[in-house]
Structure 1
Amino acid sequence: MMLPVRTLHQGGLHLKAPTEDEIMKLNPAIEAGGTWRPKECIRLKKVAIIIPYRDRIDHLLKLLKTLFPMLQRQMLDFRIIVAEQYGNDLFNKGRIMNAAFTYAETLNVDCVIFHDVDMFPQDDRITYECPNKPRHIGAYVNTHQYQLWYHELVGGVFAITMKDYRKVNGYSNVYWGWGGEDDDMAKRIISQKLEIERLTEDYAKYTMLDHEKRKRVSSKLVLKLVKEAESRWKTDGINEASLWTINRIDVRPLYYHLSIDVGKPPPEWKPNLLQKIWNYFFDP
């Protein structure tokens, strides 16, 4: 039986992050890999929550503390995958998510939810169950005044079935640094005649914590690639598994931890002197 709805208070997000031991004590039923399933009933669908990650341990621990009780209240069969990029090169979120998806397939789940580590739900009516259609869950965010800026938007928190993810060939692998991969995914979804659904803005609201953003190293290149997304999706995606390697898999008490090598960015993605000056003064 679903427990009464509650608002998830946000005040604690600005306090000191909990430790893993503290989270474990608060959630004693959570099993290795951040796994939990209801004992009162058998859920027909299994969900894996994938968190692309780099150097944000405080955010990660706060997010886990927020999600665990919420997901249990929703009586979901879930597990958590933290996908961390190996090394210090430019972040490639698309490759990270594709690699984590292939690991989620080995866990025999029915859908995945890609969840930015700085996105915190404000209400536990925001369902994390498997959707019938690709679902943009994190559509209404405090930093955007809880407005949907444009329709082709699936960033933040995004749920999709395993079948549909394969149908659109996953995320693009060609975006480095900040931006582009989510807009590219939206174009893939639309090109396959799939509909992006969203929850009501009455309660499906998120708080985004302050963080140091990934640098957009080449805005012109990002815009060019997004424009070409519909013509490139068949050859650029999860079918290019040689582009990444899962170096290590640790089954931790609160999550599966993947260390993923995504290779080196091409020369055109490395910021030149003018871009570095622009980033220093205008994109701090």
Structure 2
Amino acid sequence: SPRRTDKLPAERNDTAEMERDDRLNWEFGDENVLAARQLMMPVNASSVTTVRPPPPLETTSTSETLPLCPDLPDIKELEGPMQQAVLLIQNIKETEVLRHHTYLKPGGHWKPSHCVARHKVAVIVPFRDRQSHLSRLLDFLVPLLKRQMLDFRFIVTEQYGNDLFNKGRIMNAAFEVAQRLGVNCVIFHDVDMFPQNDRNPYGCPDSPRHIGAFVSNLGYQLWYDYIVGGALAIRMEHYIAVNGYSNMYWAWGGEDDDMGKRIFALNFTIERPHPIEGRFTMLKHVKRKRTAPKLIYKLLDSAGTRWPYDGLNETGLWKIVKITRRPLYYHMYVDVGQPPEAWRIDGDLPETTVAAKAAAPAAAPIV
């Protein structure tokens, strides 16, 4: 089986010089992790513990004298269809991205200076081994978010070690960080997804919004009603209500469809953009194989009933190892523990797995 690395990867050389000026290395103690997770218990949880919230990561200032910024569709600066020549650039470096957007503050933070943004957003990018995609995505998204007059920042969440990927856990962990940034909503954004039109709203929606609904590699078709993968915007209170992403999916696939079923289980609607304005280009890459499709399909069958005890309110399933405020984003490493052996082969889900979770929702700590 794959070995876990004992050390964090070396910092990327192209940004080391920039990080000297403004760098925040923040390691979570167990007490802060527990406090953050207790704050995120669903509102209908049987027991709620009052804890002191951890300190914010960004300082805020009031702008009572400024008017509210306009919102879509009333923003005149929008261009509509976007030039995608940057997608052909294979090796753009983060230093180049920063030179293109010198107005960004550490963490990739920007907000309008002449008006008060209506939406305070954290774009969360789950990441593994696609640095060239990440640099291009940041270079592409920053002008769009700026033209939409959003108060935005980026969180890149990366799994610690090299074992099977657990996208749900690293996104739940990133939500903890987003809470400390005081945002109104988060956007979970795959690193290989590029919008084709800047009139596709990236602000905070009234209901969960599938921003990346019409994708090039799917023929720009909506294949089923609960699909929410690629790019999903969701308000903080709605993410808590659905109990975040499932923690049970390993390797690639399933967690996004599980989220769509959670959203429907709580009677939320899934908003989607106009079929033309909502088009996305997915970059070509080596497609990752689903390790255990039978396990995924069995879990999806229970997604509509499993959500209260499988998700954000589980403690001990992940640990934020380190977070660094880099010039373009908050970069975090998350220890997600070890996958069950069943996920290393394409076998049947042990009958005890889901039943045990239902009987004992409190998770065991990472060993």
The TM-score, its normalising length taken from structure 1, stands at 0.93
The residue number in structure 1 matching 2:208 is: 134
* Offset, 1:268: 0.5
CA deviation digits over 1:179-235, x for unaligned, max 9?
110111111110101000100002211000012333211111100000011121111
CA distance in 2, matches of 1:185, 1:70: 26
The residue number in structure 1 matching 2:311 is: 237
CA distance in 1, matches of 2:126, 2:261: 21
CA distance in 1, matches of 2:107, 2:150: 15
The residue number in structure 1 matching 2:289 is: 215
* Offset, 1:15: 2.1
CA deviation digits over 1:104-139, x for unaligned, max 9?
001111100000000001111111111010000001
CA distance in 1, matches of 2:338, 2:93: 33
The residue number in structure 2 matching 1:76 is: 150
- Choose from 301, 318, 324 the match for 1:250: 324
Q: In structure 1, the residue corresponding to 2:297 is in which secondary structure?
A: helix
CA distance in 2, matches of 1:213, 1:189: 27
CA distance in 2, matches of 1:255, 1:109: 15
Establish whether residue 180 from structure 1 lines up as the match of residue 254 from structure 2: yes
CA deviation digits over 1:235-276, x for unaligned, max 9?
100001310011000000000000111111001101269xxx
Establish whether residue 143 from structure 1 lines up as the match of residue 217 from structure 2: yes
Is the CA contact 2:78–2:148 (under 8 Å) kept in the aligned structure 1? no
How many residue pairs get matched? 273
CA distance in 2, matches of 1:24, 1:4: 22
CA deviation digits over 1:37-95, x for unaligned, max 9?
00010113310000000110000000000001111111100000000011110110000
The residue number in structure 1 matching 2:340 is: 266
Is the CA contact 1:115–1:156 (under 8 Å) kept in the aligned structure 2? yes
Is the CA contact 2:112–2:149 (under 8 Å) kept in the aligned structure 1? yes
Is the CA contact 1:99–1:241 (under 8 Å) kept in the aligned structure 2? no
Is the CA contact 2:253–2:290 (under 8 Å) kept in the aligned structure 1? yes
Residue 156 of structure 2 aligns with an amino acid whose one-letter code is V
The residue number in structure 2 matching 1:5 is: 79
Residue 50 of structure 1 aligns with an amino acid whose one-letter code is I
Residue 238 of structure 1 aligns with an amino acid whose one-letter code is L
CA distance in 1, matches of 2:123, 2:297: 29
* Offset, 1:8: 1.6
CA distance in 2, matches of 1:4, 1:194: 29
The structure richer in strand per residue is: 1
The residue number in structure 2 matching 1:44 is: 118
The residue number in structure 1 matching 2:25 is: none
The TM-score, its normalising length taken from structure 2, stands at 0.73
Is the CA contact 1:91–1:214 (under 8 Å) kept in the aligned structure 2? no
Is the CA contact 2:293–2:346 (under 8 Å) kept in the aligned structure 1? no
Is the CA contact 2:107–2:325 (under 8 Å) kept in the aligned structure 1? yes
The residue number in structure 2 matching 1:280 is: none
CA distance in 2, matches of 1:84, 1:18: 20
Residue 263 of structure 1 aligns with an amino acid whose one-letter code is G
Residue 286 of structure 2 aligns with an amino acid whose one-letter code is E
Q: Which runs of 5 or more residues in structure 1 are unaligned?
A: 274-284
Q: In structure 2, the residue corresponding to 1:198 is in which secondary structure?
A: coil
Is the CA contact 1:81–1:255 (under 8 Å) kept in the aligned structure 2? yes
CA deviation digits over 1:4-44, x for unaligned, max 9?
42422223312223211211111111100010000010113
- Choose from 169, 177, 188 the match for 1:103: 177
Residue 48 of structure 1 aligns with an amino acid whose one-letter code is A
The residue number in structure 1 matching 2:100 is: 26
Q: In structure 1, the residue corresponding to 2:316 is in which secondary structure?
A: helix
Is the CA contact 1:141–1:147 (under 8 Å) kept in the aligned structure 2? yes
* Offset, 1:168: 0.4
The two structures, once aligned, show a CA RMSD in angstroms of 1.3
Q: In structure 2, the residue corresponding to 1:243 is in which secondary structure?
A: coil
Is the CA contact 1:178–1:213 (under 8 Å) kept in the aligned structure 2? no
CA distance in 2, matches of 1:272, 1:237: 24
